[in-house]
Structure 1
Amino acid sequence: MTPEHNSARHDRDSVADVALALLDEVGLADLSMRRIAARLDVQPSALYWHFSSKQELLAALSDRITAPLRAVADDVLPLARRVRDALFTYRDGAELVLSTSALGLGSSYAQSALEEALRRAGADDPQDRAVALMHFILGHATLVQQRMHADSYGAASPAAGDDATAGLDRIFDLGITALAGSARSRSAA
């Protein structure tokens, strides 16, 4: 069967499903169009029927990771935790969403949900605060994921401490409440 015929059995969703599974297995650095194509038993060129570039595929994966946040109507802190946890769902999920966000690719489901939560809480400058919160969440989650990977390979420096997740919620909550500012005090009242 030629690659063109074989690729007909796949669609954007099945390619993205395989790519997410591979992301979990090999990480972002080793996620390649060639590897995805091999898993689908197609030629790499067949993937370009569904995604015009690897960047478009990565943006679609980023959207899949953050899409469940569209329907969330939590207060700022619980929502921020949900965003962080969504990034932790996949190996290198935070790095993937960070890189696509930095390039202006994909949707901004998480940032939009944060902005709406800030509006409901009566925060000043909800759009700017949502951007700041998203930057903090992405940075924090990426740092934690990288440290967890280093720990799993025994590559973390002894000076880095014993547990990458020690104090995770406390430090995270401190950053979120500081950046949310008046939203926290108004929602607590």
Structure 2
Amino acid sequence: MRYRRGDVVERAIAVLDEHGLEALSMRRLAGDLGVQPGALYHHFTNKDALLAAIAEEILRRGRRPAEIMAWDAEAHLLCLGLRDAMRRHRDGALLIAGVHRADAEALERPLRAALERGGADDDLARVGARTLLRFVLSHEGDDDADFALGLGLLLDGLRARLA
């Protein structure tokens, strides 16, 4: 049977959820799909490319619909959406943090745009977006009340800077 790229990513997410990031390998995934490991290289040049595709799909599923709203409400929803996406899958936070460590710009971009819309200059938008992102990545395991309080504190600080 021939698999499309989306099929491979879907099965990889299932393997991630069932066995965790440590157990996710090209060999295991190929075995689950009933193909030779080399067949996966038709879709992904290496395991890092596969992990990036998995992370992107997890994030895509976690995105909330965009609406016209105040910058701080948008930043709040972006942070909640990222946290939800990471928590939905076993080792989701570990995967997303690892894949995007080298390319944090992809995760920071929407947060930075929200801050700029709120009047932040380049420095505040860059540092504010990075701070929010790092908070979400490092506190996804907190209980909901603690996470909400911490996120609120960060947003309060940004609001004060922008006032």
Shorter-normalised TM range: 0.7 to 0.9
Which residue of structure 1 aligns with residue 70 of structure 2?
none
Which residue of structure 1 aligns with residue 97 of structure 2?
98
The within-5 A match list for 1:103-182 is 103-104=102-103, 108=106, 110-124=107-121, 125-141=124-140, 144=141, 168-182=143-157
Residue 122 of structure 1 contacts residue 183 of structure 1 at CA under 8 Å; is this kept in 2?
no
Task: Give me the identity figure in percent.
Answer: 39
How many Å separate the matches in 2 of 1:32 and 1:48?
A: 13
The Cα offsets for residues 130-185 of structure 1, whole Å up to 9 and x where unpaired, read as 111111111112xx2xxxxxxxxxxxxxxxxxxxx5xx223222332333355445
Which residue of structure 2 aligns with residue 37 of structure 1?
30
2:11 to 18, 33, 38: 18
Hey, which bits of structure 1, 4+ residues long, moved more than 6 A?
none
* Change over 3 Å in CA distance of 1:140–1:129 after alignment to 2: same
Rg larger for: 1
Q: Which runs of 5+ in 2 are unaligned?
A: 68-72
Give the C-alpha shift of residue 115 in structure 1: 1.8
Counterpart amino acid of residue 53 in structure 1? N
The within-5 A match list for 1:50-65 is 50-65=43-58
Scaled by the length of structure 2, the TM-score of the pair is 0.81
How many Å separate the matches in 2 of 1:180 and 1:40?
A: 45
Which residue of structure 2 aligns with residue 160 of structure 1?
none
Give the C-alpha shift of residue 71 in structure 1: 4.9
Which residue of structure 2 aligns with residue 76 of structure 1?
75
Deviation larger for 121-130 or 57-66: 121-130
Give the C-alpha shift of residue 186 in structure 1: 8.3
Scaled by the length of structure 1, the TM-score of the pair is 0.71
How many Å separate the matches in 2 of 1:126 and 1:177?
A: 17
